[in-house]
Structures are given as structure tokens and as C-alpha cells.
Amino acid sequence: MSETKDGDTIPITVEFTGGLEMLFSNQRKHELKLPAKDESEEPANIAFLVRYLCENVMKDPRKDLFVLDDSVRPGILVLINDADWELEGEDMYEIQRRDNILFVSTLHGG
Amino acid sequence: MSETKDGDTIPITVEFTGGLEMLFSNQRKHELKLPAKDESEEPANIAFLVRYLCENVMKDPRKDLFVLDDSVRPGILVLINDADWELEGEDMYEIQRRDNILFVSTLHGG
Amino acid sequence: VMRRSWPLEKAEYKRYGRQLIMPEIGLQGQLRLKNASVLIVGVGGLGCPAAAYLAGAGVGKIGIIDGDVVEESNLHRQILHSTSRVGMSKVESAMVFLSSLNPNVQLTPHPSRLTPETAIPTMKDYDLVLDCTDTPASRYLISDTCILLSKPLVSASALRIDGQLVVLNNPPLPPGDPKGGPCYRCVFPKPPPPESVVSCGDGGILGPVVGVMGVLQALEALKVLTRTPEPPSLTIFSAHANPMFRTIRLRSRKPKCAACSSSATVTAEALTSGSLDYVQFCGAVNPVEAL
Amino acid sequence: VMRRSWPLEKAEYKRYGRQLIMPEIGLQGQLRLKNASVLIVGVGGLGCPAAAYLAGAGVGKIGIIDGDVVEESNLHRQILHSTSRVGMSKVESAMVFLSSLNPNVQLTPHPSRLTPETAIPTMKDYDLVLDCTDTPASRYLISDTCILLSKPLVSASALRIDGQLVVLNNPPLPPGDPKGGPCYRCVFPKPPPPESVVSCGDGGILGPVVGVMGVLQALEALKVLTRTPEPPSLTIFSAHANPMFRTIRLRSRKPKCAACSSSATVTAEALTSGSLDYVQFCGAVNPVEAL
Ligand SMILES: [Zn+2]
Ligand SMILES: [Zn+2]
């Protein structure tokens, strides 16, 4: 996946908050060059981004704290340019250049 | 000033907060089409915007609560796309399409 | 019957003067607050500041529900309590503070945990509910009950240096009405896996972080009581991020939501009969401590 | 000399346990807080919550300065005070609250207004200052003194439904060093015309609005005491705006600033001799009430 040509990547910002950053090397903000096409040569969407993050960015072995059944686990909100992904088409949303994708883990403490 | 051709205006957002909105019909957010050139046919800058606001948008007669000596009065911060205007060239800054210009009156209460 | 010539007592004009002169509140708004009743579920890190500012503002009736007692480890963030009241029930301790801040407020103590059996009778007499609790199970229970009773809900949470705030079921229209505000299940249809849930006891919490969220709950409560509803949004806070606050546009009601849609399966009967087992639903790692 | 084997008392581990387990604070951070001293100038709407959360967090020494007495019209937002303490000095009332919340904190009362003559001796023994006052004159005086004494300053203000927050002089490098954080005069070189200045008494204030700003001051204070400085920014808050919070990037030190540049005219001599007349400088409409 890292062998795509330079023109074939999309620059995006991915952010983690609510404790999820601990699964991603304790880094809240990641500037990424995401491959423009997924494994089936379809335009990269959120589902592909989640797989890509698991395989290429996440060092923590506890993948189940981020994904479940090939999708983001319950209790994580996905926000595309500061809007709930439900407003944008959920994991079918096709990622655009300079999109900001924010993963928020719900908190329960008080 | 309202007779410029349509292509000769710049769409911008002007916002007022900290009490300044009371001088502008109690409206915090104004979507404006600012003439692209000032009275001397120079590109519109912040100094021109301030004059334009005084003459065309501000209904309140107490102009001295907004301007003093042809500039924004002391105690008002001007923010261009969420940065202090001192970082951008103060009132000489040339306004760009879709700029967000925020006028904040300092508060002193506690 | 003689009509009173002044809608507020003389001392109330004095006490609330700084709010009364604001066009955003005014006499009208102050009377709405005086006639309102708010239930605060949990007087911990969130509930303490929320209760203080709502009592200060002159909300007429405030109910407080909590089953815990004050511990020394609470005091860095639960600022209504005090060292000499360690061991007292949190509800009783909060009553001491709130009645000395504003004796005009009618306080109702509920010194026990909210359960599916007690939720409807406890919550039904209030206009508005604040979720200041700390488990997923209690959050689903409170949201479901608010839908069943048509109450708006101000929900906040905090952990370590992060916080979240959302106003739910506002406007509080009947289940099936898509114009009502979303509920907790619309936003989180499935509970998080129990191993992903971290409490403040386990993960830690910085006092001003949960404090900010609690004060914002009080503010949202005042807005719900005095203004028209705004589109649903989630405020997320992170003390070391820049900017610290971020506001997210949320979805409207989910067409198939288990609680607030026309095909809802959460009913008053299911709730009170105990057939909705929230601890089971949330799969608590340690069910004894949950809810 | 025998070295103690534990850097904190047993009761402190218990009390601060929820902070100690966080990597952002830890034992190191807690010890920094314990060894720190913070001066809170003004225990009104901002100072009350700021003082409560700093005392809760275990800041070792807290000084409180205020010349006012508690009034009934304060209580909707100044939640440290209470109805039975109306008429007591605010400093004394705050001491009652804070010592009962956390008896480990060493409290120093300064029951009088800060003046140009008293500013340096009052502020010199503290590590950090919180400006929780309510006039332009006091804001310039506190900022100037912080520059002269090389103290970082956490400044907040509020009116009606709006609030502002800024950390100044952080890092607190000597005047003339452009790497130091900007001061109040860098951001506001000239005072506002007096007719544009509105107090909370005249304009009104919503309790949770000033409350949020005060809690955020406590948070910024904890960050100054335990973390490296961040680039200067101004947080602006407006309760009815969407989003409610906005963060603005601020300028660095102004090369010709009257207080913090190499050509500064604000000196310790000028301050203590009374030649800097802040009330005059700010042109108070009603000088008796200013400062
Ligand atoms: Zn729902
Ligand atoms: Zn300066």
C-alpha cells in the first residue's frame, strides 16, 4: 500500500480524542497521505481509511478497542469535517483532499 | 458604493462579539458583499471595511464606540480568520474572498 | 383572591438583579426559572458545579439523586462537599451547601441510585434532567426514561483531560416525531464493549476539566428553560488540545431508534417490568459497581 | 537530616489519587502543585470557582486579595460565598470555604484592594497570578506588575453572556526578550474609552458564563505550573453563539510595548512612586469605583 505513486494519495488530517489517542502512539493529530484507491481500485472511503489506520498507523495490538466486525466499534463517533458521519453517508463517504476525520471515543465518567 | 457591478464585490463574513453586536442591530454574524475596490480604486483593506461598516451597516449613531481617529477604537481586537490582525498587517491587510473578520470588544467584568 | 402586585419578592430582585437586567433573561426568564424544576442525577464532579450554578440562578425546584457517600478522593473535583462531610451521603452534603447558597430553592433529596424500577416515578415530576452520572448503563437508562416522559436531557461526561457535552431530546417531542431532538441511542445505538469503558476512578480526572463540563451543563439547562432549541451538537473538550473546544454537528433522530422512533421497543412497561436489563445490555465487567 | 521515604503524606495520596494516576500530572506534577504559590486577585464570579479548583487540586499556597464584602446580588455567581456570610469580607468568606474543602492548602488573606503602591510587595512572593478583577485599571496594573516581577498571568473576564481568557507573560522572560509571552499592553496598548466600559453591575452577567471562565483559569493555572508554555492564544466564549468557544492566535511581544519591551517605560520606580496613575490612564468615568 505504501508503493502507490505520489499522485495517487490524498492528504488528510486524522485526529483521535477521548482516550483513542492512546492507541495511536499517544498522538492526537496525524497528517496522512492516504492512497486514493482502496484494494479494489475504488475511491478511498471511510471504511478503507479505518482498515488503513489499523494496518499502517496503529501500533497498539488491541485492535478490538478500535474496530469490531470490520467497522469502528460501538462508542466511537466518526466526524467528517466536524459533522457526524451519519450526515455524510457513514463509512461509504468518499474521502476528499484535506478532509479532517475525527474519531471520538465516548466518555462515561463524571 | 452600492452601485458597483456584481463582479466587483467580495463575499466575506463579518462577526461582532463582546457586546459590539449591540451596535450592529444585535446581529452577531453578517454576510456581506464588500466592494472589491475602495474610494481610491485600491484593493479593499481592513481600513476600508471599517469605513464601509460605519457607513452602510451600523445603524447605531454612537460611531465613537466603534471607531476613533479613523481606526477601530482601543479595546477592540480585529481578528482575520481567527488570528490577531497584528499577525496579518493590521488595517493594511487586503481582504480576500470568504475571509472571516471578527471584531471583539474586550471585556473587563469578573 | 388578591393578586400580588410584584411577581418576585423584594429580596429576589436584589439576589437576581445581575440576571434580571440582561435582555437574555429579564423578568420573564427569571420567572421561568423560578417555576422550573430540574433533576440532577449524580452529585459528583459534574453534578456539584451544575447544582451550584442552577441553585444560584434561582431555579425553583432542584432534585438531587445519588447513592454514594462523600470520600476524600472526591474533594479535588467535587467542590460542594467538604473534608468535614466525608462519610456523609453526597445528597445530604449537597443539600447543606445548596441551601446555604440560596435558601429560596426548594431542594428534593433522592439518596439512592436510579434503577429501571425507580426511574419513571423519580423523574416524572421534573421539567428537565441533567445526566451527571458515570456509567454507560445509567446513561442509557436516563435517556430512555427522558424519551418516555418527554423531558429534555443535558448530558455531560469527563475522563482524564477530556470532556463531552450534548443536549438531547430537545425539543422533547413524542417518539416517532422526527422533529424531536435525538436521544442518546440515536447517537450511540450500541453500548461500547465493556473492556473499552474507563471510569474516573481507574483513568483519573483533572478537577477543572470535569468542572468546566458541569458548569456548561448548568448553562445549557438555563438555555433549555429560557430559549428555543438549537440544532443538535456535541461539544468536545480536551485540556491539552489547541483549540480546547470543538463543536460537532449531530444527526437528527434515527428513523429506527430503539427509543425515540415510531418503531421503538423501549416502553414504560418494558422498563418498569425489569425486562430491560441495562447492566446486561452494557455487559458490565463488574456489574456490582455499574449503574 | 533524615530523608522522608514518601514525598507526600498518606492522606494526600488518597485525596489526590485521581490526579496522581494521570500521566499528565503524576507524582512529579502533584509535587510541583504542592510547592507552588498562586495569587488570586479578586474572589468574585471568576475568583470563586478558580480558587475552589486550585485549592481542590492541592496548590500548596493560595493568596486571595479582594477589598469587597459579600452582597446578596453576588450569590447567583459567586458560589464560594453564602447567604449567611452576606456582609463578611469576601476574603474571609472565601477562607471559610477553601479551608473546609482542603485544609492542606496554606491560605494567605489580603483583605484590601490592590494599588500601585501595594502591587509589588503583594505579588512578589507568588509563582503565578490570576487576574479575576473587573476594571481596565486593575488589569493594566496587574499585568505591569507581573512583567516587573517576571510572573506568568492567567487573565479572564466576563460580561452578560460573553467571556474571554488569555495566558500572558508565559514564559515570563525579562522585558526586552522577544521570546517571552506577550503582556496585556502588547494586546491592548491603549485603554478603551471609559464610556465603552461596562461592568457586570451595569450590564449584567449570567452565573455559569463567568463560572466557566473561572474554572478555565484554574485549568490554565495548572497547565502553567506543570507543562511547557504554548503559543499565545485568546479563548472567546459566547453562550448563545454556535460554536460557543473560539480560539484566536495572538501576537507575540510588541517590539515597542510600554511594559515588556527593551524600551519599556513602566518601571518599578514609576509604579511605586505613584507616577503611573492607572485610574487617570483609563480615564474612569467614576474614579471612586475604579480599581
Ligand atoms: Zn433515539
Ligand atoms: Zn507587552
Residue for grid cell 449537597: C94
pLDDT tops 60 at residue B3 = no
Q: Is the pLDDT of residue B72 over 50?
A: yes
- Give the mutation candidate from D130, D134, D161, D162 for the B interface (greatest B CB count, under 10 A): D162
Contact between B109 and D200 using a beta-carbon 8 Å cutoff: yes
Task: Flag if C136 and A108 touch (Cβ within 8 Å).
Answer: yes
- How far is Cα C34 from Cα C13, in angstroms, rounded to an integer? 12
Assigned domain for A3 exists: no
Amino acid type, C232 = P
Which candidate from D42, D188, D251 shows the least CB-CB separation from B75?
A: D188
Q: Please determine, for residue B53, whether its predicted confidence score (pLDDT) is greater than 90.
A: yes
Mean pLDDT of D118-122: 97
State the ipTM, two decimals.
0.94
Q: What is the mean pLDDT of chain D?
A: 94
What pLDDT score was predicted for residue C211? Answer: 98
- The whole-angstrom distance between C190's CA and the closest CA on chain A is 6
Residue A94 Cα distances to A38, A44, A72, angstroms: 11, 6, 16
> Nearest to residue A57, comparing CAs of A37, A31, A82, A38?
A31
Q: Is residue B53 domain-resident?
A: yes
Residues of chain C neighbouring D239 (CB-CB closer than 8 A): 219, 223
Three-class SS string for chain C?
CCCCCCCCCHHHHHHCHHHHCCCCCHHHHHHHHHCCEEEEECCCCCHHHHHHHHHHHCCCEEEEECCCECCHHHCCCCCCCCHHHCCCEHHHHHHHHHHHHCCCCEEEEECCCCCHHHHHHHHCCCCEEEECCCCHHHHHHHHHHHHHHCCCEEEEEEEECEEEEEEECCCCCCCCCCCCCCCHHHHCCCCCCHHHCCCHHHHCECHHHHHHHHHHHHHHHHHHHHCCCCCCEEEEEECCCCCCEEEEECCCCCCCCCCCCCCCCCCHHHHHHCCCCHHHHHCCCCCCCCC
Q: What is the mean pLDDT of each run of 10 residues along chain C (291 residues)?
A: 74 96 95 98 98 98 98 98 98 98 98 96 98 96 98 97 98 97 96 88 94 98 97 96 94 96 94 88 57 36
Rounded Cα distance between D65 and D132, Å, is 10
Whether residue B81 contacts residue B100, with contact meaning beta carbons closer than 8 Å, is answered with yes
Q: What is the mean pLDDT of residues B56-72?
A: 92
D76 and C216: CB-CB below 8 Å? no
pLDDT of D288: 39
Residue B4 lies in a domain: no
Looking at the predicted structure, is the pLDDT value of residue D290 above 50?
no
Mean pLDDT of D37-41: 98
Give a yes or no: residue A31 inside a domain. Answer: yes
Q: With contact defined as beta carbons under 8 Å apart, do D64 and D126 qualify? A: no
Between CA A60 and CA A67, with CA A63 as vertex, the angle to 5 degrees is 140
pLDDT at residue D168, rounded to an integer: 98
Domain-embedded: residue A24:
yes
Q: In Å, how far is D114's CA from the nearest CA of chain C?
A: 25
Residues spanned by the domain of A27 = 9-105
C211 to chain A: nearest residue by CA? A110
Mutate to test the interface with C, among D105, D215, D227 (most CBs of C within 10 A): D215
> Residue D58 and residue D38: Cα distance in Å, rounded?
11
Other C-beta atoms closer than 10 Å to the C-beta of A69 total 7
Instruction: For residue A50, give the H/E element and its range.
Output: helix A46-52
- Nearest-neighbour CA in chain B from D225: distance (Å): 23
Nearest ligand to the CA atom of D260: 2
Q: Is residue B16 one of the residues assigned to a domain?
A: yes
**Number of domains chain A contains:** 1
Query: Which set of grid coordinates corresponds to residue C235?
Result: 461539544
> How much is the pLDDT for A3?
46
| Helices of type H across chain D | 10-15, 17-20, 26-34, 47-57, 90-101, 116-123, 136-149, 184-187, 200-203, 207-226, 268-273, 278-281
- Output the nine-digit C-alpha cell for D10: 498518606
Q: Is B8 helix (H, G, I), strand (E, B) or coil?
A: helix
So what's the pLDDT on residue A88?
Answer: 81
Phi, psi dihedrals of residue B63, rounded to the nearest 5°: -55, -30
User: How much is the pLDDT for C4?
Assistant: 58
- Cα separation, C153 vs C147, in Å, equals 9
Query: Vertex D6, ends D2 and D9: CA angle to 5°?
Result: 110
How confident is the model at residue C92, as a pLDDT? 98
Q: How does DSSP classify residue D284? A: -
pLDDT at residue A4 in the model: 46
C-beta atoms of C158 and A17 within 8 A: no
pLDDT at residue A7 tops 70? no
Residues with CB under 5 A from ligand 1 (ion): C 183, 185-186, 257, 259-260
Reported as type and span, the H/E element at residue A13 is: strand A9-17
Average pLDDT estimate for D33-41: 98
Q: What does the alpha-carbon distance between residue B37 and residue B51 come to, in Å, rounded to a whole number?
A: 13
Which candidate from C159, C191, C210 shows the least CB-CB separation from A19?
C159
C234 neighbors A77 (Cβ within 8 angstroms): yes
CATH code for position A47 = 3.10.20.30
Name chain B's partners: 3 or more CB pairs within 8 A: D
Neighbouring C-beta atoms of residue A100, cutoff 10 Å: 13
When CB atoms are compared, the residue of A76, A102, A109 closest to C158 is A109
The CA distance from C76 to C242, in Å, is 25
Q: Which residues of A touch C135 (CB under 8 A)?
A: 108
Residue A76 lies in a domain: yes
User: Which of D135, D153, D155, D164 best probes binding to B when mutated, by most B CB atoms within 10 angstroms?
Assistant: D164
CA distance C210 to C159: 8
Taking only the tens place, the pLDDT of each residue in D126-181 is 999 999 999 999 999 999 999 999 999 999 999 999 999 999 999 999 999 999 99
Q: Sign (positive/negative) of CA torsion D177, D182, D185, D189?
A: positive
> Can you give the pLDDT at residue C289?
38
**Is C219 in contact with D208 (Cβ distance < 8 A)?**
yes
Tell me if A28 is assigned to some domain.
yes
State the average pLDDT over residues A92-109: 95
Residue B107 to residue D158, Cβ atoms within 8 A: yes
Cβ neighbours around D5 below 10 Å, total? 5
Cross-chain residue pair C201–D18, CB shorter than 8 Å: yes
Q: What is the pTM of this model?
A: 0.95
